[in-house]
Amino acid sequence: MTKIKKTIQPASFKINAGGTATAYGGSALPDVVRQRRAKLEASVRPGDIPSSAEGDLAIKDVRGWMLREPISKRAYTVIKIQTASGLTGFGECAPLWPAEYAEAKTIILGKPVTSFDVTASLLAKCPTARAALNIAMLDVVGKLCKAPIFQVLGGPTRHRARVLAPIMGDTDTALISAMNRAKSAGYMAFKVPITPVVYRNQGQAYVQSIVKRIEALRAAGGQDVDFVLDGSNLLTPGDAQMISAAIEKYHLLWFDEPCLPAGLGAFKKISGGSVTCVGAGKKITEGSEVQDLFREDAVDIIRPDIGLNGISQIKKMSTIAEVNYATVGPNHNGGPIGTAASLHLAASIPNFFIQEISFPEAQEDQAMRLALTTVPVEVIKEGFAVLPVGPGLGINVNEQSLEKYKEVTL
């Protein structure tokens, strides 16, 4: 990685690392271009976002709760901010280390809530906390403007948001019953795990086990449901390619992260080898990674995680997908506050396709998700989520429940 890349784009180039960058992309920049950028870099200096608590909109207090669902053990963090004027906002992110939280808190205290976007570069070294802070700041801005976040951001671009439920189970039978439960809750699209991976390069029998799984789910679910096959980065590129070709005729929504996207070359090969759509990007936190995916023709859908990025970061990523005539299907493995943020994002960008929402099996987990907000957020009808309306996130967080379900107070 060159010096220039490091300074202009603070994030690491995770995806690019093993890739085959083209003539001008990534690490293959000609020296002359590098010199040019270095000259320019001297002129582009970050400005001073006011850090002293000037005005009512400055962030005066930050609090956090690390939560965990009792049965699924799914973990997520909720952050609350308060302005000098007393307005409060909530955000959610993936599990957050206390050290990262402390660092982010130091950076964000005193900043105006309206700097929800430009603070991204200051918070680049604590990207997970950045996600929750971005959502919380937008929540406050919405409340300040008395408008839902999607209206603040130029939406609604749609009046409902398509949703995807991940289903779990060791066998096809277990998956079918999980699908039926999610279906009766209103879901019409399901993310299905691949059959267990025992060897590397498993060949024909393994490919057939995947085909059989899809056929069984299709037979049980009918013609009006849709599937995403979740590779969970577990496959070799060879197996992934064979599977991708074998499942073409089932018209899955997409094949999700069949192998590690760090090997962009492998991804490009899978994507180029069949017409099955390919999705990737659950771990990305910078637009540069999205640019790399599209520069390499690697994907049909990008999957940035709401709990790792927040709203603004994904909105920026979506601009790169948009010009590639491609779509955004955010990943979400967190709680209902993150879901609400996702739905505002969905209604703010033009090229949203689908939002993944965790659908826990256990009653206890479902009860916790319901208890975190005063009105249910994850209301699903005919495969689409109802958009939250009302100022900010349009939800009221129940702080007593945060206390009840917390593992650690940050």
Task: By CB under 8 A, name the binding residues for other proteins.
Answer: 4-5, 8-9, 22-25, 29-30, 32-33, 35-37, 39-40, 43-44, 46-50, 114-118, 120-121, 141, 144-148, 150-157, 159, 286-288, 290-291, 294-295, 312, 315-317, 319-320, 322-324, 347-350, 387, 389-391
Q: Which two tokens stand for residue 164?
A: 């995807």
Least spacing, CB of residue 87 vs other proteins, in Å: 13
Amino acid identity for residue 288 in this structure: S
Of 150 and 359, the one with the shorter C-beta distance to other proteins is 150
The H or E element containing residue 215 is: helix 204-221
Least spacing, CB of residue 300 vs other proteins, in Å: 17
What is the CB neighbour count within 10 angstroms for residue 339? 26
CB 328 within 8 A of CB 301: yes
Least spacing, CB of residue 278 vs other proteins, in Å: 19
Of 123 and 252, the one with the shorter C-beta distance to other proteins is 123
Of 32 and 99, the one with the shorter C-beta distance to other proteins is 32
Least spacing, CB of residue 139 vs other proteins, in Å: 13
Of 123 and 259, the one with the shorter C-beta distance to other proteins is 123
DSSP 81-147: EEETT--EEEEEES---HHHHHHHHHHHTTSBGGGTTGGGTTTTTSHHHHHHHHHHHHHHHHHHHTS
Least spacing, CB of residue 16 vs other proteins, in Å: 12
340: DSSP letter:
H
Of 4 and 211, the one with the shorter C-beta distance to other proteins is 4
Least spacing, CB of residue 178 vs other proteins, in Å: 31
Residue 221 makes CB contacts below 8 A (sequence gap 6+) with: 176, 179, 183, 190
Residue 42 makes CB contacts below 8 A (sequence gap 6+) with: none
Q: Which two tokens stand for residue 120?
A: 């991204």
Of 87 and 175, the one with the shorter C-beta distance to other proteins is 87
The DSSP bridge partners found for residue 256 are 230, 279
Distance CA 133, CA 204 (A): 48
276: DSSP letter:
S
Of 68 and 160, the one with the shorter C-beta distance to other proteins is 160
Nearest to 129 by CA among 109, 150, 112, 159: 109
Of 183 and 315, the one with the shorter C-beta distance to other proteins is 315
Least spacing, CB of residue 344 vs other proteins, in Å: 11
Least spacing, CB of residue 382 vs other proteins, in Å: 13
